[in-house]
Each structure stands twice: as C-alpha cells, then as structure tokens.
C-alpha cells in the first residue's frame, strides 16, 4: 500500500515502484474514480452516512496495481439526516482543502467533502499544490486561480501541467475540468453529489475505452460504443450541471480546445 501526495510529484510511503516512474492519464483517472467511489460509499451507502472531513491527496492510499483507497478517518463525523442539513463543529481539516462554508461558519456538510475532492481533482489536472506561495501573484491558491479559467473553454490550456508532454485526451481533460469546477463551486448547493461525480467520471473513461471500432467474425466493423457512451455522458452531465454557475460547462465545444502538455509525476520514496 502506498500513500499518494499530489503536488508536482507523487510520493509513496513504500513499495517497489521506485523513482521517476510517471503516471499516465489513464492511471490518474483510475485514481480519481476510485477515490470518488470511496467518498460516494461514505456519503450514500454507509449506514450511517459519514463525512470524511479531511479528504486530501495524502489520504488516498494506492495499492501496487494503483487501486486507490480513501484512508485516515480520524476526523470523520456521522452525517446528519437530510442532504441539506449540517453539523456545527470546530473547524478541522487541512488548509487548502477545507470548503468555504465550513471554514467560515463551522457548518459541516456532506458537500464539504465534495469540495475537498474537487481540490484533489484540480491537483491531478494541474500538478499544483492547493496552496503554493512560490507561484506568481494571484495563483497561490489553486481554487482561486483555476475557478475563472475553468469557466472559459478557450483558457483551459493554462491549467495543464507541461510535463505530460501532450499525452492526454484533450476532450477528456475538458470533461474532467467540468467535473472539478462543479465540485469546487462556492455554494454547497451547487456542487454535485459524489455519486454524480462517480457516474460522470465513468462516462469519461468509457468514451476512451470504446473509441476504436471492433471487427466481428465477418471482418465487418461493428459500430463502436463511443456515440452511445457520449449520449449517456450527456445525460449525466445535463443532470449534474443543469443549474448554477457552471451550468454552461457541459456544452463545451471540445474540438476547439487545443492539445497542450499536461501532467507528469515522479514517484519518490515516501515519508
């Protein structure tokens, strides 16, 4: 089991992965989906429901096959009944990941975890820390810097980490930006549930999985499932982003988004 640190590098607590081993786009999306499933289970399937309260990159544990597990429940709280209800509690968590409503009022919501997840997703997309005072003025806080950029499809190339050397699907990058933008919406009511995040990430990965046509026994190309997957993705997105400040994001013209360099990570022996 390895612990994930998303900064400019990924670090591991131990294990055979060694140094300078890059994670590709598909692996990072696998980690994102597995972590989302973990939070969705806590919020929607666990009895009683649980708010993690300290979800962050270093609380994602990786197995050797990159299966990701949500860890460290030392600050977890039982969620109140009713989706909109909150707990009033002393503010805990990690600076840069704490949702604004919780930081300012002490009101802890299930959707506060969704915000924290969105920060991790932004780390995966940009390769930056949640707070990094070495960045240029105005870019020190990851959410503050990315939020206006995420709403402008013509500026998405500003977000990508140059070290992936262009090895990522530009359409999927835009789709994941859409998901991240919704997760870090300032108002908790505008954020999706983690179940909706899981379904949207599944749709992104299915689009990749079924891009190529498949030949049957008679060597005739069967229609691939890209179109049907895209249709399902559209249905999920239309539900997930039908209102609020990020409602227009599901209508991105992905073909006009320029391919740029994005994300590369090194694996180092962890602390």
Domains in the chain, ordered, with CATH? 2-269 (1.10.510.10)
What digits encode the pLDDT tens for the residues 13-36?
Answer: 333 222 345 678 888 899 999 999
The residues carrying an active-site annotation are: 54
The mean pLDDT value for 177-202 works out to 97
Does the reported pTM lie above 0.85?
no
Cα(229)–Cα(235) distance, rounded to whole angstroms? 10
pLDDT per residue as tens digits for the range 236-245: 444 454 444 4
Could you tell me if 227 and 124 are in contact, meaning their C-beta atoms sit under 8 angstroms apart?
A: no
């Amino acid at each position: 089991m390895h612990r994930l640190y998303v900064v400019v590098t990924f670090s591991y607590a131990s294990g055979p992965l060694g140094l300078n081993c890059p994670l590709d786009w598909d692996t990072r999306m696998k980690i994102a989906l597995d972590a989302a499933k973990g939070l969705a289970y806590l919020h929607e399937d666990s009895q009683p429901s649980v708010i993690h309260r300290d979800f962050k990159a270093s609380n994602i544990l990786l197995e050797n096959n990159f299966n990701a597990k949500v860890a460290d429940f030392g600050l977890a709280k039982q969620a109140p009944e009713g989706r909109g209800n909150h707990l009033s509690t002393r503010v805990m968590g990690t600076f840069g990941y704490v949702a604004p409503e919780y930081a300012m009022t002490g009101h802890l919501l299930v959707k506060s975890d969704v915000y924290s997840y969105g920060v991790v997703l932004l780390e995966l997309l940009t390769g930056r820390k949640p707070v990094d005072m070495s960045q240029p003025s105005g870019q020190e806080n990851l959410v503050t810097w990315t939020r206006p950029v995420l709403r402008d499809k013509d500026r998405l190339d500003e977000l990508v980490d140059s070290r992936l050397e262009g090895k990522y699907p530009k359409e999927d990058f835009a789709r994941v930006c859409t998901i991240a933008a919704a997760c870090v919406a300032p108002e908790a009511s505008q954020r999706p549930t983690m179940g909706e995040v899981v379904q949207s990430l599944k749709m992104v990965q299915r689009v990749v999985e079924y891009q190529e046509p498949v030949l049957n026994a008679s060597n005739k190309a069967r229609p691939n499932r890209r179109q049907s997957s895209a249709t399902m993705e559209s249905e999920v997105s239309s539900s997930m982003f039908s209102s609020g400040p990020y409602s227009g994001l599901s209508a991105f013209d992905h073909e006009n988004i320029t391919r740029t360099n994005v994300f590369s990570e090194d694996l180092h022996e962890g602390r």
